Structure 1
Amino acid sequence: MANTISLTLDCADARLLGAFWRTALGYVDAPPPAPFRTRAEWFASLGLPADDAVDDAAWLCDPAGVGPRLSVLRVPEPKAAKNRLHIDVRVPGHGGPAERWARIRAESARLVAAGGTVLAEFDGHHIVMADPEGNEFCVAAAASS
């Protein structure tokens, strides 16, 4: 059996970035781990320092259970360089190159409205963007099967 992965994104504002990635990926808030009824109850059980707060993080998951979980955690230091690992947002659908590019551009516009920024366009292939805290990601068509 293969291992699974989850992704963790450091940030300055977990609520802001959690909301952006929830919108970008169509994810939902992940439920707390069993046997806890709420994230606050689970968080309180960890015995963390008093200045750590449950609002300093967002835990997201794919509602279909297919994609990796995403944790967004507040850290004290700012982003200092280009990401070594980035997320590719893959836009679904079929059609020719012009139709795929139109879907990529439409998704990019939707993510700009949600707080993202376009950094570069590679005409017909993908768009490099940044989330509200400058973390780079790409918008591209889903791989053909």
Structure 2
Amino acid sequence: MATRIDLTLDCADARPLAAFWKTALGYVDEPPPAPFATREEWAAHFDPPEDDPDAADPAGGGAWLCDPDGVGPRLSILRVPEPKRAKNRLHMDIRVPGHGGPAERWERIGAESRRLVAAGGRVVTEFEGHHVVMADPEGNEFCVAAAPA
């Protein structure tokens, strides 16, 4: 049996980044772990360090997302104090359907890229006919490409 993975994105502001990734991936807010009714209730049961600037925000500036079908990895988005400084060493690829000819696949990649720009992302580089490198609202890189046919 394969090991399941979760992905974690560090950020400066979790709420808008979570909104972007929910739009990009079709994910939803993950319910809090049992027996807690809310994420805030769950986070409040931890004893934050006295010098923690997020202590007033019981969720610590985080967001937890999941695939509503339970297929994709969970995504945690956590506020950190330091800014992003360099290119990601690991990134996500968002895959559009790979059927059809090259022009049809490229049109689907373009349509998805435009949808994600409207959601707050930006195009970094286009590799015409193959994939588009994009960045989310905080500059985390990801690609939009066609799935294998």
Q: TM-score if structure 1 supplies the norm length?
A: 0.95
- What's the CA shift for 1:55? 5.6
Inter-partner Cα distance in structure 2 for 1:79 and 1:128: 17
Matched letter for residue 39 of structure 1: R
User: 1:93: how far off?
Assistant: 5.2
In structure 2, distance between residues paired with 1:55 and 1:124: 42
Q: 2:124 aligned to 95, 119, 123, which one?
A: 119
- Quick one: which amino acid aligns to residue 82 of structure 1? K
CA contact (8 A) 2:61 2:79 kept: yes
Partner residue, 1:80: 85
Q: Hey, what does 1:51 align to over in structure 2? A: 53
The alignment covers a number of residue pairs equal to 144
The one-letter code sitting in structure 1 at the alignment partner of 2:68 is P
SS in 1 for 2:16: helix
Q: Distance in 2 between matches of 1:102 and 1:28?
A: 27
Matched, 1:134 2:143: no
What is the identity, as a one-letter code, of the residue corresponding to 2:95? R
1:94: how far off? 2.1
Unpaired segments ≥5 residues, structure 1: none
**Percent same amino acid at aligned positions?**
75
Aligned partners of 1:92, 1:46: CA distance in 2, in Å? 43
Check the 8 A contact 2:98/2:148 in 1, yes or no.
no
CA RMSD in angstroms, aligned pairs only: 1.2
1:14 maps to a residue whose letter is A
The offset of 1:3, in angstroms, is 1.1
- Equivalent residue, structure 1, for 2:100: 95
Secondary structure of the structure 2 residue equivalent to 1:33: coil
Q: Which structure 2 segments of 5+ residues have no match?
A: none
Alpha-carbon separation, structure 2, partners of 1:115 and 1:55? 23
Query: Superposition pairs for residues 34-45 of structure 1, below 5 Å?
Result: 34-45=34-45
CA distance in structure 1 between the partners assigned to 2:97 and 2:32 by the alignment: 29
